[in-house]
Structures are given as C-alpha cells and as structure tokens.
C-alpha cells in the first residue's frame, strides 16, 4: 500500500518557491555586506578621531559613575581622565587620558554629542555625561562615503531644497556644519562650505560648485581639523637637561607634556600641596615623592609644595602685579618698579617653573624655609633623587637669580649627582657637557 502523503503537489511547489526565495535573500544580504565592507575599507579615517577605531559592543561602565558635573576646555582632574577613558572605550578619543581637557578632548566630546543626537557644543554638561556613562551611549561609527553625488552643479546662498539638505547632512557628518538640516543655504551653511574648502585646498568662496561638491562626496573628503592646542613638549626627552633662564627664555605657548594634578596625585601624608590644582611633570613628581619618603624615613616630615608648574601667562600676571604693588605702595616709577620686581620675580618666559620640573619646597606656616631642618635635609639629599638646588649663593652671577633655598629643579640623577660632586650649576654643567 502506498503511503499517503499529506502534502499536495501545490504545497510542494510552494515549498520549493519559499526555499528559493530564502536563498535569494541570503545572497542579496551577503552582497550587501560585501558592499558595506568594501565601502568601509575605502572610507577615509577622520582626522580628529582615532586612527584605530575600537567599537566596543557593550563597553564596561566605570565602577563608580562620577556625579554629573560640567567639564569644558582647560578643565583638569581625575573626572576628566575618567571621561577621556570612557570616550576612548567608545572609540571617540584617541589621545592620552591625561586628565586635561584640551582641543582633542573637546573634538571627542563634540563627535560623541553629534552621533548621539545632542547639541554638539563640546561642553560635557549633565545631559552629555549622563548619556556618556549610560548603557545607551553609542560607540563611534565612521561615516560611510555616500556613493551618489547630487546632480546640481552649484549650490550657493539662497539655494533651497533637498540637495541643500544633503549638503548640510554631509557637512555635518564631517564636522563642518552644526546648524539645522533645514534645506536653506544660509550663512551657517556658507561658513561651513568655506571652512571645508579651506581645509581641502579649494578656493574658499562659500559656493558649493561642481569641484567642491565632487570633493565633498568623494572618499578624499576629510573630517574637520580642529586647530590643535600648542603641542605639549616632552621636557625630559633630551640627553641633557632643559635650560630656561634669562638668556634662554621659552615661547609663550610652551606647555610641558605629562603634567599631573599634584593635589590628587600626591600622598597627602608625605606632602601638602599649598594651592589645589598645582601641576607638575609626572616623572619629576614621582621623584619628589620618592625623596619625601626617604625624608620621612629619616624622621623629616611636614613638607609643603607652594609652587610647581606655571604657564607664561601665569608668570606675566605675577610679574605685573608685583610691579603694580611697587608703584602703588612704594611710590616707585614704572621703570624702577620693574627693576625691583626683576630681583625676585622671573620675567615671563624665563622662569624654570614653566618646565613643570621645578618645585618650591616650604614648611606649612613657616616663613623662613632656610632655617628649618627640612631645608638642611633637602640640600643634603635632593641630588640623590635627581634634583638640584638651582639658585645658590655662590652662583648668583651665573644663574642671574638671587639664591633661593626652597627652589629645586628635577634634572635626573645622572646629571644632579655630577653637578653636586663637581659643584656646578646648570649653566656651568651644560657648558661642559656640550
């Protein structure tokens, strides 16, 4: 007896058709995927975003979510570092997590805001921070290059419509346009086009002509380049210590690399940081802490750092206020007030504090450091930890500074020990070593 089939001939036809359809859809999906991968491969790497984009599927949230606050340019601290780490984990930030909110951090915050539907103002306020630390934060996605170029050969002020919308969209993806996608070629659109042209070697006329549009929709269109903050200088990278004095001033925008916030970085039981937010170069601060541990072992405690890194602008403020005080309180002429100030305050650009390697060591609530046991210990031992007593009495005419018992400078122990043994100040040492 024949087994009775439950499927009719029509059913069999339908099953065959269904299987065929699935195979077709699968092939189409594969082709799409390949097309996507090919496009992804030729998409230019945006210049303000990291070269290697690490897209984290489910980035681990920080163990303790910081209380939302507000961070913007020039903010410093542990929370800024946490934010940088989080932005890096999501693929937006490629710089060093150094706790300093500079141009790179701002660009990363803006990119995050843009991609997460927030106003891209580069300020990490409560809304931005809350989203950033939430599981809903989107990882960085590179913008795929659009394949279709709009047909119109020219768009300019007053143009309207779908093609202007596309133009605004594209300019926004590349970071040039931050206004509304409204299809109106207004002032904002014109400015964005102008900046795009400037950064792509095109005539910067603010008109999206054929050449501009072609570049804009091509693979060679780059993300906006944010003018970088002055590049931080690796102050300890050379073979010889960096010299900063009256004959060797440094540039106004000089910034040492790898500064740490000493108020947060230093063990408070070893040293008091007089002014919160005082910064110093990490390697030098590490050496300082090693030295103060040794001092503690010798029973010499109660240290204070009353000054470390100072920018040229900071120094200018100090210098000017000193001059003013001599004029107001002592009735000196401006020229005389400047001469008097120069005896104790370095001219802007000539202070060693600009290097982030110099520290003014004091004792809390004690006026005269020179008569303390801390001063005695420091002058005896600092050399072993890479520091020199920079301005000494018998070298005043070489250094150009009156003796300062409290001012130590990190040069590295391979140099400081030689300078101690041969009684050389930095100027003399460099003269011999060169």
The residues near 43 (Cβ < 8 Å, ≥ 6 apart) are: 142, 143, 144, 145, 219
- Cα 409 to its chain centre, rounded Å, is 25
Helices 413-421 and 426-433: angle between axes, nearest 10 degrees = 100
CB of 346 to Zn ion, least distance (A): 8
CB of 390 to Zn ion, least distance (A): 8
CB of 43 to Zn ion, least distance (A): 51
CB nearer Zn ion, residue 98 or residue 360: 360
CB nearer Zn ion, residue 170 or residue 407: 407
CB of 401 to Zn ion, least distance (A): 9
Residue 404 falls in the annotated catalytic set: yes
Query: Which of 267, 264, 233 shows the shortest CA–CA distance to 250?
Result: 233
CB nearer Zn ion, residue 173 or residue 360: 360
Query: Which of 39, 33, 62, 54 shows the shortest CA–CA distance to 141?
Result: 54
Minimal CB distance residue for Zn ion: 407
CB nearer Zn ion, residue 106 or residue 407: 407
Q: Which residues bind Zn ion (CB under 5 A)?
A: 360, 407
What are the tokens at 96? 């060093």
CB nearer Zn ion, residue 133 or residue 401: 401
- Cα 116 to its chain centre, rounded Å, is 22
CB of 360 to Zn ion, least distance (A): 4
Return the exposure string of 267-283: e unless at least 16 CB atoms fall within 10 Å of the residue's CB, then b: eeebbbbbeeebbbbbb
Handedness of CA 332, 334, 336, 340 (dihedral sign): positive
Contact assessment for residue 276 and residue 253, using Cβ atoms and an 8 Å cutoff:
no
CB of 45 to Zn ion, least distance (A): 44
Q: Please give the Cα distance from 254 to 349 (Å, whole number).
A: 9
Compute φ and ψ for 393, nearest 5 degrees: -55, -45
In the set 119, 283, 404, 427, the catalytic residue is 404
CB nearer Zn ion, residue 108 or residue 389: 389
CB of 406 to Zn ion, least distance (A): 7
Q: In the beta sheet, which residues pair with residue 385?
A: none
- Burial class (CB within 10 angstroms; exposed 0-12, middle 13-18, buried 19+) of 386: buried
Coil, strand, or helix at residue 380?
helix
CB nearer Zn ion, residue 74 or residue 344: 344
Query: Which of 181, 165, 176 shows the shortest CA–CA distance to 200?
Result: 176
Active site residues: 404
């Amino acid at each position: 007896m024949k087994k009775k089939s439950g499927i009719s001939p029509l059913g069999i036809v339908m099953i065959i058709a269904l299987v065929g359809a699935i195979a077709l859809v699968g092939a189409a999906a594969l082709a799409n995927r390949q097309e996507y991968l090919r496009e992804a491969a030729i998409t230019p790497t945006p210049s303000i975003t990291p070269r290697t984009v690490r897209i984290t599927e489910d980035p681990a949230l920080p163990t303790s979510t910081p209380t939302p606050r507000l961070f913007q340019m020039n903010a410093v601290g542990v929370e800024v570092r946490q934010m940088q780490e989080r932005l890096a984990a999501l693929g937006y930030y490629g710089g060093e997590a150094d706790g300093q909110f500079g141009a790179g951090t701002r660009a990363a915050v803006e990119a995050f805001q843009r991609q997460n539907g927030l106003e891209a103002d580069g300020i990490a306020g409560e809304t931005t921070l809350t989203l950033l630390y939430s599981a809903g934060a989107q990882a960085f996605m590179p913008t795929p290059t659009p394949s279709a170029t709009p047909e119109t050969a020219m768009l300019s002020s007053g143009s309207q419509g779908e093609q202007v919308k596309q133009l605004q969209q594209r300019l926004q993806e590349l970071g040039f346009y931050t206004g509304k996608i409204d299809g109106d070629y207004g002032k904002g659109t014109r400015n964005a086009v102008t900046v795009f042209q400037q950064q792509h070697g095109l005539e910067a006329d603010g008109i999206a002509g054929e050449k501009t549009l072609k570049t804009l929709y091509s693979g060679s269109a780059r993300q906006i380049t944010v003018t970088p903050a002055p590049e931080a200088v690796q102050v300890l990278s050379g073979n010889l210590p960096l010299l900063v004095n009256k004959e060797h001033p440094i540039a106004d925008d000089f910034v040492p690399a790898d500064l740490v916030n000493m108020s947060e970085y230093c063990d408070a039981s070893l040293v008091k940081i007089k002014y919160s937010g005082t910064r110093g170069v990490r390697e030098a601060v590490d050496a300082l802490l090693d030295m103060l541990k040794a001092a503690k072992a010798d029973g010499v405690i109660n240290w204070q750092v009353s000054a470390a890194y100072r920018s040229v602008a900071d120094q200018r403020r100090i210098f000017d206020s000193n001059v003013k005080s001599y004029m107001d309180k002592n009735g000196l002429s401006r020229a005389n007030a400047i001469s008097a100030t120069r005896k104790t305050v370095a001219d802007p650009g000539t202070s060693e504090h600009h290097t982030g390697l110099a520290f003014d060591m004091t004792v809390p609530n004690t006026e005269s450091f020179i008569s303390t046991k801390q001063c005695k210990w420091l002058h005896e031992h600092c050399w072993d930890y890479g520091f020199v007593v920079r301005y000494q009495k018998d070298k005043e005419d070489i250094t150009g500074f009156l003796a300062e018992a409290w001012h130590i400078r990190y040069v590295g122990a391979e140099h400081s020990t030689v300078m101690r043994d041969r009684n050389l100040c930095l100027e003399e040492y460099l003269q011999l070593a060169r």
